[in-house]
A and B are shown apart, each in its own frame.
Chain A
Amino acid sequence: MLASALTPPMAIDMIARRAFLAGLAAVSLPRMGWADIGSPAFLAAGKTASGFVLHGLTGDGESLFSVPLPARGHAAAGHPHQAIAVAFARRPGTYGLVIDCASGAILHQLEPPQGRQFNGHGVFSADGALLMTSEVVSEGSAGRIGLWETDTYRRVAEWDSGGIGPHDIKRLPGGRIVVANGGIQTDPADRTKLNLATMRPNLTLLSSKGEVLDRAELPTELRQNSIRHLALLPGKIAFAMQWEGDAAQPVPLLGLWAPGKGAVLCPPDDAFAFAMKGYAGSIAATQDGKRIALTSAPGGVVMLFDEMGHQTACHTRADLSGVAAIGGSFVVTDGSGTTWQVQEEGLALLSRHTLAWDNHLVGLGPA
């Protein structure tokens, strides 16, 4: 099931190119870089009629490669230099696959240590020497950050994530990392939520050695707003939330946090107070930090915000979920296999594929 295989490429020249690349990868070291395989802009997991896959996409939404996955994927992490992606199972996860994106070969299969589960996200250190994974202790969902060296992808250490049920993690300049501790304790065997009445999500900033540097929490009345996904702005962290409280209550689903200060919550205009149905699934920010995009599959919308957190646009499309920045704008993916460029005035069609894009679109650009 884990055997390496490339799905049939779309163009003849790509077949030749891939065969060449695959052969090369098998015999040669050091590994290829992203530029060697066409400089994909994004990684995206998907579901086809026959199974699950991970694609590398150009900025125009064209597929450069696709690799089969053994089960539904969630997010992926791209190595900063080598053409290597780590695909994570959705939580509670039992696999992380280190994939050679040039050949499609599975180089390593990461398994969480006994009593730990992957929680869907991970990130490489800036030099690529370390992989950090968001994890929970199976019983109780206490958060951990797993550390793996990336020569042989061996587990080397773990840190406390600073909260319950961590989900997304991002690397900041200077080697610090920020963790979205979603606050939700889940049943180790399934995804049943066990502590909605008492949950307390937080954002935790860790040093490059795993020490807690700072933490942000939500006001008491919003403690059922699970902080789940992150995007980086210069000097600030944007975070996306999923509301577990009364659905009739409009709550902000975007927040901005400059460590050292309190988090600022950013509700949309009244007219769109319920457009996301209390659920922001993915978040991205442009590199200059001037624009933020938030998606909601249940609401079928992507909302744009400016750097101060003021909403500037809301576009509808069924089952939108993945979003990533490219240059000054965004690309979003949906459950019908379509990729779109997001503009202030609307969505522009980029490409269509015969699969369903899964929750996240992961940018491979400079972090």
Chain B
Amino acid sequence: MIRSLARSFAVTLCFATPAWADFPQAVSGHILPGYANLAEATGTLADTATQTCDMAALRPAYHAAFDAWMGVQHLRFGPSEVEGRGLSIAFWPDPKGSGARAQMALLTGDQAALEPDMFAQQSIAARGLFALERLLYPSADLPADPCPLIRATATDLARTAQAINADWQNTYAQTVLTAGEAGNTTYLTRPEVRQALFTQLVTALEFTDDNRLGRPLASFTQPRPERAEAVASGRSLRNITLSLQAQRALVLALTPDAPLTIAGFDHALALAGALDDPTLAGVATPEGRLKIEILQQTIEALRDTVLAELGPELDVGIGFNAADGD
């Protein structure tokens, strides 16, 4: 508490001192550029889809957009959570295949549903990056020409990304930066912002552990490689790497004093870098599985380090009720 107060004063009084890292630096150096990048990359993808349905042109633009999303996908608060925007960009995992089902109806149904305003009302599961993946990397022949739906999906994705970016630029950055000031009822104190960002980091590591790694690993007797994230586009491992890099960057923006946390990210990134298995197909082989399990254990240990080191460093923790309800 004392440290937190000291920091609040220091940041308020010596705002220009570059040595300080804190949430204003996370906003200006990590969050705002990340969403601007997403808006730009998805805009390029939408422009490309408007001009052509050539897969050779669309696929690189798709990967660039997905890469940009991985730079911000761990920030699930504020503008990205309005009207389920984040979910409409990346609806995964989808164990019941509701996205594919709703998308098939769009593919073969009334084309009026593809008009931007109508499309924005469609099922969240049928929109976004994973919907595009099913059209750009189809597992079987599609029953109709996918080009109009690709264009509609890419346009909708760009609109959503631009809406998030605009909200951050126009209002939400200010909401965050004025935390604790009179009239700000979103963040009553500055530590509340640190807590929000800390929670994003912990939740994002749990997501990678449980879903990106846990779903394909499944059980030793019944591994499920087909359940890895973005298998069709070959991004499963890349998404893990990019998400770890983005979260590491957020930590560095928040504080220079979390060496164990940074070392934990570096260790996990080194393991991911050495893993020559883009779709995590190795979960089904004994030696491949072992390496992926080691990466998972490293990320679980990293989560514990974040709780043990970064939490106290930022003077925050997981919420009292969120940590232990009933």
A interface residues (Cβ-Cβ under 8 A, vs B):
47, 74, 90-91, 120, 167, 228, 242, 246-249, 269-275, 279, 281, 297-298, 300, 316, 318-321, 334-336, 338, 347-349, 352, 356-359
Contact = CB atoms under 8 A, between A and B. Distances in A.
Given A270-B84, A271-B83, A271-B88, A335 B321 contact: yes
24 contacts: A90-B326, A247-B210, A248-B93, A248-B211, A248-B215, A269-B84, A270-B123, A273-B124, A281-B325, A297-B322, A318-B195, A318-B196, A318-B199, A318-B319, A318-B322, A319-B320, A319-B322, A321-B325, A334-B319, A336-B188, A347-B185, A348-B185, A349-B185, A357-B320
B319 A352 contact: no
Contact of A298 (B123, B185, B211, B325): B325
B322 A335 contact: yes
Contact of A120 (B84, B188, B211, B326): B326
Given A271-B83, A274-B87, A300-B319, A318 B192 contact: yes
B218 to A, nearest CB: 11
Contacts of A352: 188
Nearest to A322: B321
A316 B187 CA distance: 11
Nearest to B206: A247
A273 B94 CA distance: 12
Interface in B63-88: 77, 81, 83-84, 87-88
Contact of B188 (A228, A338, A356): A338
Given A319-B319, A338-B188, A347-B185, A279 B325 contact: yes
Contact of A358 (B81, B196, B321): B321
A12 B88 CA distance: 54
Contacts, number: 88
B295 interface: no
B192 A271 contact: no
B95 interface: yes
Contacts of A356: 320-321
A128 B94 CA distance: 50
A275 B77 CA distance: 11
Closest 8 CB pairs of A and B: A271-B84, A319-B319, A297-B321, A335-B320, A321-B321, A356-B320, A248-B93, A297-B322
Interface residues of B, number: 29
Which residue of B87, B88, B125, B189 has the most chain A CB atoms within 10 A of its CB atom? B87
Nearest to A297: B321
Nearest to A319: B319
Interface in B156-201: 185, 188-189, 192, 195-196, 199
B2 to A, nearest CB: 13
Contact of A270 (B124, B188, B322): B124
Contacts of A349: 185, 188
Contacts of A74: 326
A281 B321 contact: yes
A273 B95 CA distance: 14
B124 A316 contact: no
A269 B83 CA distance: 9
A359 B322 contact: no
Interface of B: 77, 81, 83-84, 87-88, 93-96, 123-125, 185, 188-189, 192, 195-196, 199, 210-211, 215, 319-322, 325-326
Given A248-B211, A270-B125, A319-B321, 20 more contacts: A90-B326, A167-B326, A248-B93, A270-B87, A270-B124, A271-B83, A274-B87, A281-B326, A297-B321, A297-B325, A318-B196, A318-B322, A319-B320, A319-B322, A320-B321, A321-B321, A335-B320, A347-B185, A356-B321, A357-B320
Nearest to B317: A335
Nearest to A335: B320
A336 B192 contact: yes
A321 B326 CA distance: 10
Contacts of B211: 248
Which residue of B96, B124, B215, B322 has the most chain A CB atoms within 10 A of its CB atom? B322
A249 B124 CA distance: 14
Contacts of B195: 318
Nearest to A119: B326
Given A91-B326, A338-B188, A358 B320 contact: yes
Which residue of A90, A269, A321 has the most chain B CB atoms within 10 A of its CB atom? A321
B35 to A, nearest CB: 18
Which residue of B88, B188, B199 has the most chain A CB atoms within 10 A of its CB atom? B188
Nearest to B82: A271
A228 B325 CA distance: 11
B81 A316 contact: yes
Given A270-B84, A271-B88, A275-B81, A359 B321 contact: yes
A106 to B, nearest CB: 23
Nearest to A168: B326
A270 B85 CA distance: 11
B98 to A, nearest CB: 8
A270 B195 CA distance: 27
Contacts of A248: 93-95, 211, 215
